[in-house]
Chain A
Amino acid sequence: MPASTMAARSQSPRDAPRGPAASRRRGGARSDRDGDLKMDIAVKGRGRIGKSSSAPSSSRDPASRTSRGEARGGMLSGTARRAILRQAAAGDVSMREPKPTNSRGGLVELSITGWEKSKASGNADGGVSSLIGWLEKKASHRLGSRTRDVKVKKSRKEGSAVIISVPSEHVGALIRMNGYEWAGTNVTIERLGGSKNSSVEVKSQAEETKAMLRGVLERRYNADTKVLDLSALGQDEELNKANVFDKNSTTRKIFPALMRVLEFSFDTEAERHAAVTGVSLANNGLIDLADVTSLSQTLPKLQNLDLSSNNFKGLSSLQNWRKRFSQLQHLVLSNNPLEQAEPEYPAEVVKWYPTLRFLNNVQVRTEEEATQKAAPTDLPFPIRTPNFQDEGGIAEGFVRTFFAGFDTDRAALAAHYYDNLSDFSFAVNTQAPRDPEATQATEKQEWDQYIKSSRNLKKISQPQARQNRHFRGPKAVADAFATLPKTKHPDLATEARKWMVEAHIQPGVPDPTGQSASGVDGFMITVHGEFDELDATTGQAGKKRSFDRTFIIGPGGPSGVRVVNDLLTLRAYGGAQSYDPDNFEGWNANATAARTSDATPDPAVPQLPAGLTIEMAEQMVAELQKQTNMTIQYAKDCLEQVGWDFQKGLEAFANVKGNLPGEAFVGGA
């Protein structure tokens, strides 16, 4: 696919990153996405490049571990932390915003003061409109299954205060922002005509903690880049202000709680994965992953991960995540002591994550390489071109006729190829692996139309049921075909990539004439492909499915070819990557090798070198035949063996003509 190749190749590491690192850099000085909260972060570890790794906290010996553990005990004991988590999980605290019980509760007025000295005071309106924009944005929920869009309905200036009117269900979210910093100044938000917090129902401590954590996540989430910025948690003003956590152990205590709250914000895993594709854990002073390991459980499908500017001493401190994040595309590890300690680490990390494209903003794999890596090719049986052994185009003709007929007229097809001894049955593999790039969702009872007659012996154990799900003779086969949904298969010629068709000669196929009990030669044909189910009344394409179909065909019947056996497996759409020619190992080399080693020449599919048309080849064969009197087949074989060089063909002929059998010549033998 040249287009995608070009695209991937032209992508320089510089313009590629959309991950946490990118968003981090874009911000310049550290700030959250809105630029509204100056977090004043001491960039821990930044200045460490070049320094030896003997930083004071570097030791991993048991003694210092113990002391670290003690330090972590800190103000909030493990018991307290567990209590918070338990409450969060137990459901006495609703992790989701309580549903507004009375959404038509009218408007509530809030007064905002302390905003006048902001950086936006130079604006024409003194900054009021940008203040309101900030309030709306800040109070809205973007992270979660139920998003909340806060709108300020009315606003007016009253002395030094701005009075806003908002729907009552949003009051809580706005009051919670009391004391937040906006454009360089702290704003005070109060309910008008009420005491400071009277509007907000009294909350339990756990509920407040939950709301606080929810706010932290919300503030650190960028809905556009889908990045959750959990960097420098120890310096987070709101977390510190909440005063629940001891400063030295903030990350350790808070992280699992944050992950818990994140999980509760979404109804389904899929929604969570779709909303958050990148996480930054930069500047958290991490020496290993113990504090943050829950990330890999909460967001196992993460694509972008920033671990820069921590205190990882070596790859061993990242070992926990070696097998996690199977879809990781972009990882940042810069500004960690391991860079100096283990300069060879990138090679190892690239091995850990088979789909990784960028490490520290440097491209380590192209898009194609990463996709191929997902489908391992380092097996002793690499994916090769189809092995299609035919004679006189019998197998090819059968496949073409069969699938065209299956889509258009199954009754006629059954009468054409099936006789009284022809067997058909099908089996549904409901659990088959799906397309790695799947977009189709699984529906309930999605195999209903098939399952009644499915003969999957793993599921159907009664002998009578097995016998009943086995159809013999044109009538029974036609009836069984009729129970299956209408289909449309891709075109065999123009959409060959969606098919994998193989055939080989199968000895011992029953002889319908009864002359040879041990049987005659037929073909085993295996077809893997896909089809669209068509709606019976509208003819609209519906569900896409994949199938495997194994035929044994032999001589006989009205058309000269009869189906002896027809076994069909139906399964969920599995994509066509596994037989895409782009993934074939050494595609050209093998094609030639297969040619020369193939014992049965296949006149239907000549293998021609590039630049040689079939017409030119035919002329060469005709000319060689004229000059040597060889048969067409021998002349063709001769030219194939010399790579379609006419002069060499003549020389080869001169060398071997004495040894050629009579049948090699026209009118011979």
Chain B
Amino acid sequence: MATLTETDYTRVSTDTGEQFVDAYYTALDGSRNQIKSFYVPTAPIVNGRGVPHISYNGEVLQDASIFQERFEKQMPWTHFEPQSVNVHVMNPSMASLGDKPSKRDAERNMSLVVQVSGFVRLHERKEGPVRGFSDSMVLVPNKEEVGGRGTGKQDHGRRWLIQSQNFRFVV
């Protein structure tokens, strides 16, 4: 924990948040078969604390593949436009990393809170109806110990995954 400065935290959290938000909404619009790869794998529910927690317009889903299927099969054409994005570090140090952790490990040992405000155009380009939305997510690093498949030696795959999310139409 001590190895990262406040500047590091700001850089890692905001860069991560921005990149994640861009990739995530692009997938909702255009590569819906990728959606579940943005979420942590489903873990058994213990005392209502199952992950991922996906709350979408008030409906709770605890399995990203159900969420993906809804988008793939039922969701009309969408264009999500995140207009405002803000990110905080939630937990700066999720696990004890020993005496001398590498900077890379330390940068992957935090969880983040992301808040997005924007609009989604539905059904069709230009003339489809528009809804304002607000989306809040907690992101965790993609690591085996948090239930992910990891990014592998080559650092492939998504580095961050949604652990919990609350989405609402607000306009």
Contacts and interface: CB of A to CB of B under 8 A. Distances in A.
A456 B82 CA distance: 11
Nearest to B81: A431
B170 A546 contact: yes
A384 B59 contact: yes
B63 interface: no
Interface string B1-40: 0000011001100100110000000000000000000000
Contacts of B10: 463, 466-467, 470
Contacts, number: 203
Contact of A524 (B93, B123, B164): B164
A566 to B, nearest CB: 8
Contact of A467 (B7, B74, B111, B168): B7
Given A505-B48, A567-B113, A567-B115, A425 B53 contact: no
Contact of B171 (A434, A517, A567): A434
A455 to B, nearest CB: 5
B170 to A, nearest CB: 5
Contacts of A506: 53, 138, 164
B171 A578 contact: yes
A69 B70 CA distance: 51
Contacts of B111: 508
Interface of A: 323, 326, 354, 374-376, 378-387, 389, 423, 425-429, 431-436, 455-458, 463, 466-467, 470, 500, 502, 504-510, 517-519, 521, 524, 526, 528, 546, 548, 550, 552, 564-565, 567, 569, 571, 574-575, 578-579, 584, 598-600
A423 B9 CA distance: 13
A375 B120 CA distance: 12
Contact of B127 (A326, A426, A431): A326
Nearest to B82: A458
A524 to B, nearest CB: 6
Contacts of B87: 457
Interface in B56-76: 56-60, 70-71, 73-76
Contacts of B11: 463
Contact of B136 (A384, A427, A436, A526): A526
A457 B115 contact: no
B145 to A, nearest CB: 9
Given A381-B70, A425-B88, A323 B94 contact: no
A426 B127 CA distance: 31
A432 B7 contact: no
Closest 7 CB pairs of A and B: A384-B58, A380-B74, A574-B171, A429-B84, A548-B134, A600-B48, A433-B132
15 contacts: A384-B59, A385-B58, A387-B59, A425-B86, A429-B117, A431-B83, A432-B83, A433-B119, A456-B85, A456-B86, A467-B7, A500-B170, A502-B166, A519-B91, A567-B115
A547 to B, nearest CB: 9
B132 A508 contact: no
Contact of A510 (B91, B130, B134): B91
Contacts of A466: 10, 14
A518 B140 CA distance: 12
Contact of B89 (A384, A423, A434, A600): A423
A489 to B, nearest CB: 15
A456 B7 CA distance: 18
Contact of A578 (B70, B74, B129, B170): B170
Interface string B98-133: 000000000000010101011100110001011110
Contacts of A500: 168, 170
A376 B123 contact: yes
Interface in B132-171: 132, 134, 136, 138, 140, 163-164, 166-171
Given A379-B122, A427-B84, A550 B14 contact: no
Given A435-B171, A599-B47, 13 more contacts: A375-B131, A381-B56, A381-B59, A382-B57, A387-B58, A426-B86, A432-B118, A433-B119, A458-B18, A504-B166, A505-B48, A510-B93, A528-B134
Given A380-B70, A457-B86, A504 B53 contact: yes
Given A526-B134, A548-B115, A521 B49 contact: yes
A505 B45 CA distance: 12
B55 interface: yes
B68 to A, nearest CB: 11
A382 B56 CA distance: 9
Given A456-B85, A457-B17, A470-B88, A517 B168 contact: no
Nearest to B167: A381
A571 B14 contact: no
